[in-house]
Amino acid sequence: MDWPCLSPARWQWVIALRHPSLKSKKYLESRVTRVLSPSQNRVVPPCPHFGVCGGCKWQHVDYSEQLRMKRKVVADALTHIGAFTDAVVCDAIPSENVYGYRNKLEFSFGDRRYKLPEEMGLDETELAKPADYALGFHVPARFDKIVDIDACLLGPTEMNEALSLVKAFGRARGLSIYNTREHKGFLRNLVVRKAHATGEFMIYLVTSEYDEDLMAALDAELVTQFGDRLTTFVNGVTSRKNTVARGDEDIVIRGPGTITEKLGPFHFAISPVSFFQTNTVQAERLYDEALRVAAPKPDDIIHDLYCGTGTITLWLASRCRAVVGCELEESALRDAEANARENRVDNVRFLALNLKNYAAAVRELPSDLRPNIVVVDPPRAGLHPDLIKELRILDPERIVYVSCNPASLARDVKDLCSDGAYHLGPVQLVDLFPHTAHIECVVALERTD
């Protein structure tokens, strides 16, 4: 889809062609063939890959209009899915930077480059780029084809320099690319991370096997290009039959193997596969909003569910008696505990809890660790139905919901507020992902008694 909205008042006289392959039991999708009269909110997208790359699909929309539309998406979800007739949805807090804001980009190698429309019918000798070598992003809904990217405007300069260098290095040496159908080939993924606050820079190359001489040669070229700007270079090695940018074994070629990012007063060590919000500046604003609506008092006990590496846990800790971070992923829990030690926060505790039996697990805790405030930051799928039941049993005085998916947010808060048990407070939007349809929300549910 080339447009985020087809409101007649804003997108006038769009000629669209129905595409049979996009047919679904519930809906049809169309593709724009020509815009006869553009909206006043339409702008010229600066990225040469726009319309082909599946990343920033809203680059052609003025940023203020993007924020208005995101607010409408959240409001519509709460009305139509959540059945809230009087929900208060606040204007989104805009991103400080709308380009160059990402602290991580993840590229994939592919031996089937996606051909642009203007390349159709050309002989391979007439193509500007080889058809069997690409490094970039997956074509939407295609796991086997890659859009070759020259530069991504969402990342800082170093990330695009690394993209060009690694791409040229592989081509010059004739390195094979992992084929997702035959499960053969050497080059898999390139992940680049740059800490916003410290400027530390990481290159993570995922391959099917380890070649010491080859990695030494690449390291030498990286040092020539980046010098002191390169903090660490890691080779992830995996033989798994998937396209996930993660090695079963990580071999540190240069540096410590991690970079350090700073959020507010806290420092976080980030490994190649650590989860970390990709917009550092806006992440701070998101966590500030979570703290504001949680409104903890000095004697409160807070549970942070889906705590991951403990970023929100640490953010809350200075304003209450204790915070318990709950997570099942063992590696995330180890990172969370390390982050607490590194930042000398001693009123937090991390537990591996099965959230499907959360209320029973809480009853086993000492009384001074049982929560009166619960913070949830679930994945896009939202809360498991069993956890919603457990939260209703536990009945905390306040539930703070941090959401990355308006649809699952609306569904979950509807269930939590059923029978008048909780009251839905104002929903605050924070835009972490300009030029995309994604939006983060924070809202507090107050127990009605």
Give the burial class of 400: count Cβ atoms within 10 A of its Cβ; 0-12 exposed, 13-18 middle, 19 or more buried: buried
For 59-78, what is the mean pLDDT?
Answer: 97
* Residue whose entry in the numeric block shows the structure tokens 């490994």: 271
Which residue in 333, 331, 315, 334 sits closest to 323, CA to CA? Answer: 315
The model's pTM is 0.88
d(CA 91, CA 285): 14
d(CA 205, CA 217): 13
Condensed to tens digits (0 to 9), the pLDDT of residues 150-179 reads 999 999 999 999 999 999 999 999 999 999
280-447 has the same fold as 104-270:
no
Distances in Å between the alpha carbon of 81 and those of 73, 182, 406, 424, 428?
11, 43, 9, 14, 18
- pLDDT higher than threshold 70 for residue 230: yes
Confidence of residue 328 (pLDDT cuts 50, 70, 90): confident
d(CA 129, CA 148): 9
Q: Tokens in use for 186? A: 């050497």
* Catalytic residue flag (residue 404): yes
Which residue in 220, 146, 231 sits closest to 192, CA to CA? Answer: 231
Confidence of residue 23 (pLDDT cuts 50, 70, 90): low
Dihedral (Cα; 56, 58, 60, 63), 10-degree rounding: -110
Cβ–Cβ < 8 Å for 217, 233: no
3-state SS class at 2: coil
Residue 45's contacts (CB-CB under 8 Å, 6 or more residues apart) are: 51, 56, 59, 60
User: Rounded mean pLDDT of the chain?
Assistant: 90
* Residue whose entry in the numeric block shows the structure tokens 């500030």: 288
What is the assigned CATH class of domain 280-447? alpha beta
CA atoms within a 13 Å half-sphere pointing along the CA-CB vector of 229: 14
Alpha helix (H) residue ranges in 318-384: 330-342, 358-363
d(CA 240, CA 436): 31
Phi first, then psi: what are they for 387, rounded to 5°? -70, -35
For 196-214, what is the mean pLDDT?
Answer: 97
Which residue in 225, 105, 110, 230 sits closest to 165, CA to CA? Answer: 225
Which residue in 404, 403, 432 sits closest to 97, CA to CA? Answer: 432
For 64-89, what is the mean pLDDT?
Answer: 97
Condensed to tens digits (0 to 9), the pLDDT of residues 191-203 reads 999 999 999 999 9
For 234-254, what is the mean pLDDT?
Answer: 93
Alpha helix (H) residue ranges in 185-308: 212-226, 280-294
Window from 37-41, 139-143, 389-393 with minimum mean pLDDT: 139-143
d(CA 66, CA 92): 10
Residue 335's contacts (CB-CB under 8 Å, 6 or more residues apart) are: 269, 271, 274, 309, 310
Cβ–Cβ < 8 Å for 395, 62: no
d(CA 141, CA 202): 29
Name the percent of the chain lying above pLDDT 70.
94
Catalytic residue among 53, 404, 417, 441: 404
d(CA 366, CA 414): 31
- pLDDT higher than threshold 90 for residue 27: no
What is the number of other CB atoms lying within 10 angstroms of the CB of residue 26? 4
Residue 409 confidence (pLDDT): 98
CA 53 vs. chain centroid, Å, equals: 17
Counted residue by residue, the chain has a size of: 449
Residue 1 confidence (pLDDT): 38
Residue 16 confidence (pLDDT): 40
Distances in Å between the alpha carbon of 213 and those of 70, 132, 218, 253, 371?
49, 25, 9, 11, 54
d(CA 13, CA 402): 38
Condensed to tens digits (0 to 9), the pLDDT of residues 253-290 reads 999 999 999 999 999 999 998 888 999 999 999 999 99
Q: Tokens in use for 442? A: 């924070």
Cβ–Cβ < 8 Å for 16, 33: yes
For 359-364, what is the mean pLDDT?
Answer: 89
User: Which of the two residues, 300 and 5, has the higher pLDDT score?
Assistant: 300
Cβ–Cβ < 8 Å for 305, 377: yes
Window from 1-10, 144-153, 277-286, 408-417 with minimum mean pLDDT: 1-10
For 317-341, what is the mean pLDDT?
Answer: 92
- Which of 54-63, 90-99, 144-153, 241-250 has the largest mean confidence? 90-99
Ranges of each domain in the chain: 1-42, 104-270, 280-447
Confidence of residue 443 (pLDDT cuts 50, 70, 90): very high
Window from 27-41, 216-230, 238-252 with minimum mean pLDDT: 27-41
Residue 22 confidence (pLDDT): 53
What architecture (CATH level 2) is domain 104-270? Beta Barrel (2.40)
CA 170 vs. chain centroid, Å, equals: 28
